[in-house]
Every structure is written in structure tokens, then in C-alpha cells.
Chain A
């Protein structure tokens, strides 16, 4: 291992490979990806929709909703709201689901579990 790569006194490369093969880790990985990848696609699409409408649908964006408040402003404020909500949802998911799964991955897993993970 290169001198500058993160070194760990108690774990060698083989131990990491073994953990990677364990079903606990595979479950953690798929749970993580199942949340973040679709969510990323969703918020990027939602944001790009906002930018595209701002560029190409200015008439629609200028429609007044209430008083001086128009669709463009509401759409913009919804971007703030969705950002806050996604951050909150991820925090909740990470605490409830990902952290326990991550804690279950370990070099000291019971003998039986390692058999299952090939």
C-alpha cells in the first residue's frame, strides 16, 4: 500500500475484501444506492425543469397567483422547500436504515454469516 493512502492499523486489504463480499455490506450498499441515485435524478430533473421554464416559458412563469406573487416565485420557493425536505428525508433514512446496516458490517462477523456471503 502506498504510504499516503489511508492506512489502518487493524485492518488489511484482505479484511476489506472479505467485508465487501459479506451480505451485510451488500445490503448496505444497495440500500444506500436505492435512496441516493433515484433521489439525485429526481432533484436534478426538478431543478432543470425550473431552469428550462425560466428560459423558455416566461409567460407561464409570469402568471400571477396571488397579489404580486407569480408562478416563478412560487416555483423558486418550492425549490427551497424541496431541498430542505430531501435533506431531512436523507438524514432520517441514514439514521434509521443506513447506520444500523453499516454497524452490522464488520471483520468480527459471526462465522456463519461469512459462509453465506460466499
Chain B
């Protein structure tokens, strides 16, 4: 059974309308359910702790699921499955980085953040520093990271939903972006952290269930023998054994390409523990013990999920064929839904249409839950860090702060919609990797030094954040993502480059992490030792709070 015969007709032929109708019905059911949850949550949201931290009453399992729902983006579900389907083994390099990264969050960050902060990442960073400069820097970095990530998700959503619904043309993409944006604004402004968390929990359950059904189904087709699945995938890919080895995607053998892979790996593994939308999830549980347990649940859920994407991606290669996947979307983003259609009975069958629609609706839910988390993180930081502490110098009332958070969600959401509409023609997949790189370069060094280094001070924190942020963004702006001219590293050039297709990029890698992460640490170190300020006493207090949970909110 090759599958390659049938697949090119995906989304064509009679089943076309059938699956669109199913997809639209399922989308509508999910949207109705989440709107109901959001309105329910809004009635439970009174205080600032309710709005920012869901009242700190979620259980470890609930928060573990919500972390999964927040973290497993469309890039991880559709993107990684697609990478397996098109480039074989190299998809694993991404998913392993995304998973191992959780150990940094578990061992070094989660419990101490829960114990010593209140609502945002900056609460911990600014604890023993001068509030205004540190909160300003942390707020800016939070908003930048979240907006990069948000743009990648929303532009992807526009292209994807338009493709899944078979709607041609730019209008469909624009409308999808507007609808996704409007929904996320509604979840956050009305439901706050409680509404957002429940949307993420529902999404995580749907995503895990959908992925599990596909995984078992695919494995059953190969007698639950992983080796036969891999063999079939390698055969159907047309690339043979190379499909099962590292190197098809990150395969260039020159020095820079290899370093680029290391650079990506470093950003993935160190970025997660610096992502603001992930960090604020630790505040939604009653204490640090629950924070630790929720990270453990998240590690289990996310780990199993990535193992399933391996099977789904190789299943797509084996059953649908890499060529048919690439024909549908050259980035492979439709691999998961194509294999669903194949499992349901293939194009043209009702079963195929139904299962395609189910998985498409899961993908839609995935995108919504992630963008809501990002909007919440950036608007919380705007209200709590920039508005209340930088502009109002700590004199804002709780009511004003929460009102400002809702306004910020509206404004940030609107800005994200407009930017996404303008960016819809660009290849913005790099923004996810950039968000991880900025989180690893700007946020993580400052966070770790704050928690573990006695001598650390205000100038160090500010220098670390801006140094990491500016260097990561500047290096990407100097890379072949922006300048696509042909060079020894990039023999074919990059026709999708943002600024120019002919000018050669001055920086030979696409991932800045290898340079910007050490630079972030270095800036934080130099800033500290060049400044005389000492915060030893406040550090002694922070240590006790962070490790014992005494005085925690």
C-alpha cells in the first residue's frame, strides 16, 4: 500500500465539501464551549490574583495539562509532524530540545519562582533590585518574546485554517487571523487566567486524545512494530536510509551549518524556562510543591506527546508519502491532517472527511489556546510591571491594574492582528526559534543569576536583559533570514528573505543562540561587577523565600 496514489487528491473531489462542513461544525462546537467556559470564568474573577493567577487554586494535574496546552503549539503538533514527514529523523532534534528544556524549568526555576513571585517573571527579577529599570527591561522583553511567538502562531493559523477549509485567497487568511485574534482577546479580557487555563486544559485533552488515536491506529497498521513503520516511511519517502538519520534538514556539511544546528539546540533547551507565558503558569497553583508536581505532569504529557508526533510524522511519510505532503504544503504543516484523512478511509470517503475534520479542529483548538496564553502573559506584564510599577511607581490600585491588563490585552491583541495581516505573506516560522533564543539569551541569564548569585544587582539585570534581547534580534536581522544572497554557506540563497534576495547575509547562521546566550550571561556578569551596588541582604531574604515558601503568595 503506497498511499501516494490517493493522497494528491486531498481536499479535492467530492469529499471536499463534506469535510469542510464537518470541520466548520467542530470548530463552532469548540468555540461555543470555550466561550461558555470564558463567561463562567469571568464570574469567578474578582481580584488581581484571580485575573493574573486564576486564584492560585488549580491542582497540579490541571496545571500540568494547562502547561501542556500552553506549550504544545501548532508549531509542535503540525510543524514537528511535518518535519518528520518531510525530513525524517531531523524532526526529533526539535522535539527532544523542547522536552529536555523542561528539566531546566523543573530543577532551577519553577518552585523558586512560585515561592518568591506574585504574577509575572519580573516579580522575581526585580525582587532585590531597583524596581523601575528592572521591571521596564523585563516587561519589554516579555512583550517582545510574546509578540514574536504570537505572530508566528497567528500567521500560521491564517494559512493553515484557510488551507484546511479549502478557502482560497487572501481574504480567507485575513478573516481567519481576525477571528483567531478576536477569540483570544475575548478569552483573556473576559476570562483572565481562569478562562485561559480552562481553554488550555480542554485543548490539551483534545490534542492528546486525537494524537493518541492516530498513533495507535498507525502503529496497528504496522503490527505495532516500530521498525516496520520506519522501514515503510524510509521507502515511501524516496530517500531510503538517509530518512532515518540526522541530516536531511540540517544536512549541509560546512562548518556554519553544523554550528547553526548546535545554536538551535542550545536555544531550544535553554529557552523554555525563560518563556514568560510558561513562567506565569507556575503562579496558578497553591504552593511550590504543586508547582513542582505540575511540571512533572507537564513533562509526562509533553514527552508522550512528542513520542506520538514521531509516529504520526513517520506514519504520514509511510502512508501518505513525503511527496504528497510536500505537494499540499511545502513546509509539511498538513502532514498530520493528511494522515488522519488517510486513516479514516482516504480522500473521498466519509470516514476520511470526518477524521480530517476532527484533527483540523484539534489543530485550531491548539492555536487558540497558545495565542490566549501569550496574550495573557504580555498584557499581565504590561499592567503589572510597566503600568503599575514603572509608570505609576507602585501607586496603582489593584482595580486599576486589572483594568489596565484588560485594556493591554485588547491593544496587544489588536496590534498582533494587524501585524499578522501585514506579515501573512512572509515566512515567519523563524519567529518561534527567535522567541526561544530571546528567552534563553535575555530572560534565563537574569532569572538564574537572580536566584543563584549573591552579588547580582540592578545594572547586571538590566544589562543581561537588553544585551541578550538586542544581540539575539540583531543577529537574526543580519542572517540569511533577512538577507538571502547566495554564499558558500547558502549555495541556493534564500528566496523568502525578508529584506533582500541578493545581498549576502553578514552573519552566517540563522540561529543566534550560540552567540547571544553566552553574551546575555556575559552582559549580566559585567554589568554586575562594574556596578558597586550590593543586594546581599535582600538576596538572603529571597533565598529563604524561594527555598522554603515562607511569605509566599
Bound complex: CA A28 to CA B545 (Å) = 12
**CB-based contact A39/B107 at 8 Å:** yes
Q: Which of B94-102, B171-179, B402-410, B467-475 contacts A (4 or more CB under 8 A)?
A: B94-102
Q: Cβ of A51: which chain B residues have Cβ within 8 Å of it?
A: 93, 97, 261-262, 265-266
Q: Cβ of A80: which chain B residues have Cβ within 8 Å of it?
A: 96, 99, 303, 306-307
Q: Cβ of B226: which chain A residues have Cβ within 8 Å of it?
A: 69
Q: Cβ of A106: which chain B residues have Cβ within 8 Å of it?
A: 550
Q: Cβ of B537: which chain A residues have Cβ within 8 Å of it?
A: 13, 17
Q: Say which residue of A2, A20, A36, A76 sits within 8 Å of B108 (CB atoms).
A: A36
Residue of chain B at shortest CB distance from A16? B541
Residue interface bits B268-293, CB-to-A below 8 A is 1, else 0: 01000000000000000000010011
The size bracket of the interface on A is 35 or more
Bound complex: CA A48 to CA B269 (Å) = 9
Bound complex: CA A70 to CA B227 (Å) = 10
Q: In the complex, which of the residues B89, B107, B123, B269 has the most CB atoms of chain A within 10 Å of its own CB atom?
A: B107
Looking at chain A's contact residues, the main secondary structure is: helix
Number of interface residues of B (CB under 8 A): 67
**CB-based contact A43/B543 at 8 Å:** no
**CB-based contact A66/B227 at 8 Å:** yes
Q: Say which residue of B96, B102, B292, B394 sits within 8 Å of A3 (CB atoms).
A: B394
**CB-based contact B244/A8 at 8 Å:** no
Q: Cβ of A43: which chain B residues have Cβ within 8 Å of it?
A: 100, 103
Bound complex: CA A56 to CA B266 (Å) = 16
**CB-based contact B123/A6 at 8 Å:** yes
Minimum C-beta distance from A43 to chain B (A): 5
Q: Say which residue of B103, B244, B262 sits within 8 Å of A40 (CB atoms).
A: B103
**CB-based contact A13/B541 at 8 Å:** yes
Interface residues of B in 102-118 (CB under 8 A from A): 102-104, 106-108, 116-118
Interface residues of B in 496-553 (CB under 8 A from A): 537, 540-541, 543-545, 547-553
**CB-based contact A84/B299 at 8 Å:** yes
- A111 touches B (CB below 8 Å): no
- B131 touches A (CB below 8 Å): yes
Q: Say which residue of A6, A73, A87 sits within 8 Å of B545 (CB atoms).
A: A6
Which 9 A-B pairs give the minimum distances between C-beta atoms?
Answer: A67-B227, A8-B551, A51-B265, A16-B541, A62-B245, A54-B246, A68-B230, A20-B540, A3-B394
* 19 contacting pairs across A/B (C-beta < 8 A): A3-B395, A6-B116, A6-B118, A16-B551, A19-B544, A19-B550, A21-B540, A40-B108, A47-B265, A48-B262, A61-B245, A62-B246, A72-B92, A73-B92, A80-B96, A83-B102, A84-B299, A87-B300, A102-B547
